Chain A
Amino acid sequence: MLPSRMTLSELQIGETGVIADVVGSDNVAARLLEMGLLPGETIEVIGRAPMGDPTEYSVVGYRISLRKVESARVQVDKAS
């Protein structure tokens, strides 16, 4: 399954991925994890802000906004 491994920021609108890893152990990584972006969870790209950043995602039943720098920390396996 490795070929479809990418960062969350590379996922396009409407695409869905399964979180594989959250990189790092700083506050940003901890916050992402606390907000439910855990390995194994499904995440969907809902839409982008008018200027292309941040992006709205759907995860564990709610909507969350992440900047590109933050979503780049999340590794996902793209669902086909």
Chain B
Amino acid sequence: MKQTPATVALIGNPNTGKSSLFNALCGSKARVGNYPGVTVEHKTGRMIPLANAELSAHAGSNRKPAKLDATGSNSQPSSGNDRFSHELGSREIDMVDLPGTYSLAARSADEAVSVDVLSGNMPGVRRPDAVVVIVDATNIERNLYLFSQVIELGLPTILVLNMWDRVEPTGITVDIPNLARGLGVPIVCTCASKRSGIDLLRLEIYRAVGALSPTVMPSPATPSTAQLQPAIPTPSEYASAGFPDAFRTEVESLGNWLRGAGVAVDSFQVQRLLIDDAAGLSHRVIPQALTKTFTEQLTSAKARLNDVGVSGPLFETRARYGWIKKKTSGLITRTNSPQKSNSDWIDRWLTHRWFGLLFFVAIMFLVFQSITLVASWPMAWIDDAQNWLGATVEGFLAPGPLRSLLVDGVIAGVGSVIIFLPQIAILFFFIAILEDCGYMSRAAFVMDKFMSSIGMSGKSFLPLMSSFACAIPGIMATRTIDNRKDRMVTLLVAPLMSCSARLPVYVLMVSAFVPDLRYAGGWLSLQGFVLFAMQSLGALVAIPVAWLLKRFFFQGETSTFIMELSSYKWPSWRVIVARVWERVLSFISRAGTLIFITSVLVWAAAYFPMSHATVNKSLTELEAMRLAPDSSAESIAQLEDSINRERSRLIEGSFLGVAGHTLEPIVKPLGWDGRIGIAVLASFPAREVIIATLGTIYALGGEATEEHDGLKSQMRAATWPDGSPVFTLATALSIMVFFALCAQCASTLMTIRRETNSWRWPIFSFVYMTTLAYLGAMLTYHLVKLWL
């Protein structure tokens, strides 16, 4: 009999190995999206079913932790006499991965999402049938804080002690059977990165959702498992039973009042409404019509509590930690271990005043070199593959709109997305290693003072650094910043960092228009200096921009750096591969479609409404000539020349060209003519396109490169109607400053859209950067003209 899938939520503190546990349970086929209206990631997957053979092999090992506690060793007990007749239900399990949080207090968006999902208030997500709480086995006490809140939701709960392999070396012993009995939930010990304990967890999940018939229960000969049977703790066993009486009375009366008014709330939600409501829980739970009376009720309840001295967050944390102390008392023991002090010893070096900074710089240098140098090979292959594909299509199709759409629109457009993949993969490879081994939080720790002085946090450094290669992986890397305000500021200034696509533009302009002057015996060149200045400009501008953003857009949200520094460990390859794969897939599936549509739209704007009959005829002729052995090189060159001239006419007459000419009065103050305007306009989807477009406009075909001498001389020869040259040093600098500051990258804007889950921020980025670029370019042009 096929039942509807059961929903099981997975929740835990950050750094507990939650995502590796999710991957271990569900494989790599997770669906990743965003919850409606917030930037919180929504990840779901179907649990890989447990085969019956695996079940019989593993069910007996439920006693393993018990044994471990008794003897202090990790020996596998014999399970030979365990007899099962399993009727594993055919029920499928949908796992929902909730954001990593320390608490269910509905203060941040992450916490609010978790509360909503667990209490069934999240649109589009069924209320879970069970919850798996994952905790760091080496830090059970603090991790149980979240657990103490989760069990109050009244769902069947399983406690997972992950990283179990590190418990013994860290000098910790845990009395699992008594802990499970005390907490009233089954406990499973796992090591998710090594895939151990996972089948046992699957078994417990089936049991928790009632998909396992009772006959599967291990025989009574195994007393420890009897204690591990799921029993939902009753409210009298909750940590909140230790709340002051006055508070519990208020929860009861407010809850009764709400339920009387027809609002379905559980008492955990009522508690949250009374304690904290910064993330707007009441807006989602309380109907509009009731808001006013509810607020009155809430205010008077809070006033009454205040009168008896129950206010602030202390009473809740005190009650919960008191409960944890009581439940774990005598069951968890710690001895000083060499491993803990090893981690502290590594820390003394890696956060050392001088060595720590040096190490940080070395790591960043390695990452940066890899995303620029190592990525350049696969990027060249992708480029070659794209050209080969384009040429192949050209071989099959006669010149015409379809061929142009496929080659110039689709292949070029998709290629412009795929080309970023090597950089994204390499960056996330490093991020995954650094995060998994524990260094990432130290890097943030080392850089925090400096980064917070310019309005961001230590965690902003790596995303900004990566943005020097490409803003897209950089923006995606801002996910590691948990403070929303710091993340938004970092994400919004990241596109100002000088990415690798700006370099060709600078190289072209500098080599063509900056005099090749040498100083200090030839060791310093003016060209090199201008290139360096252009590369640094964005980062310098980012400092006041970050300050202004913080001052005017993200005011009042306190930035905090309360961060756990987990012990160092060897990274797990499984975790790294899974994380890189997840990021690469999410980039392709989400940004890819939007970038593709944009490329096609820009292609259409540059193609229509002119008639391409002449150029198509000439192209057919040209291709025939190239194949014919007797055609002279001179006539081919002649025909190519006329094709390029025709193409230049076509682009000037296209929608894009007309728009460029209309823009002429607007770009004149920057020292540009209409043709530069068209080229810049065409390069808004991807800034490096300007070289090809300038090439087309200056009748050199689309194959121009930044080292193309023909393009340089053509540009030098271009004149205004009065005969004065268009391109002067002032114009070249003005173009470079514009490129340094402008948001000319559809892929970046689409990534911002995806990461912020709103159109507001890409539009904001586009507007602020374009305005900044325009003003900067204008200022540069006039200052340079005045000065020279």
Contacts and interface: CB of A to CB of B under 8 A. Distances in A.
Nearest to B357: A50
Given A34-B103, A60-B142, A66 B449 contact: no
A53 B445 CA distance: 8
B35 to A, nearest CB: 21
A1 B566 CA distance: 33
A65 B563 contact: yes
Interface string A28-58: 1111111110110000001111111110100
A64 interface: yes
A52 B445 CA distance: 10
B377 interface: no
B386 to A, nearest CB: 45
Contacts of B565: 56, 62-65
Nearest to B353: A50
A25 B305 CA distance: 14
A53 B450 CA distance: 9
A76 to B, nearest CB: 16
B560 A70 contact: yes
A65 B442 CA distance: 9
Contact of B561 (A34, A60, A63, A66): A66
Interface string B129-146: 000000000110110010
Nearest to B317: A33
B722 interface: no
Contacts of A47: 347-348, 351
Contacts of A20: none
A61 interface: yes
B449 A54 contact: yes
Contacts, number: 125
B572 interface: no
B449 A52 contact: yes
A22 interface: yes
A22 B344 CA distance: 26
A44 B278 CA distance: 32
A50 B107 contact: no
A49 B564 CA distance: 14
B80 interface: no
A78 B95 CA distance: 47
Contacts of B564: 35, 62-65
B520 interface: no
A38 to B, nearest CB: 5
Nearest to B15: A62
Interface centre among B314, B344, B354, B562 (most CB of A within 10 A): B562
Interface in B714-733: none
Contact of B107 (A25, A30, A46): A30
B560 A28 contact: yes
- Find the residue from B105, B344, B561 having the highest chain A CB count within 10 A: B561
Contact of A51 (B311, B348, B450): B450
A50 B447 CA distance: 8
The secondary structure that dominates the A interface is mixed
Contacts of A27: 107, 278, 558, 560
B313 A30 contact: yes
Interface string B331-372: 000100000000010011001111011000000000000000
A46 B103 CA distance: 25
Interface string B296-330: 00000000000000011110011001000000000
A3 to B, nearest CB: 25
Contacts of A25: 311-314
A46 B312 contact: no
Task: Give the most central of A36, A64, A65: most B CB within 10 Å.
Answer: A65
Contacts of A30: 105, 107, 276, 313, 317
B352 A38 contact: no
Given A63-B566, A64-B565, A33 B142 contact: no
B308 to A, nearest CB: 16
A49 B449 contact: yes
Given A25-B312, A27-B278, A27-B558, A49 B566 contact: no
Contacts of B441: 65
A68 B733 CA distance: 44
Interface in B586-642: none
A2 B162 CA distance: 42
Nearest to B311: A25
A38 B141 CA distance: 13
B562 A66 contact: yes
B107 A67 contact: no
B159 interface: no
Contact of A53 (B139, B312, B448): B448
Interface in B422-449: 441, 445-446, 448-449
B142 A35 contact: yes
B768 interface: no
Nearest to B564: A64
A24 B558 CA distance: 14
Contacts of A66: 561-562
Given A25-B313, A62-B139, A67 B102 contact: no
Given A25-B311, A38-B317, A50-B351, 8 more contacts: A31-B562, A36-B142, A39-B318, A49-B356, A53-B448, A56-B351, A62-B138, A63-B566
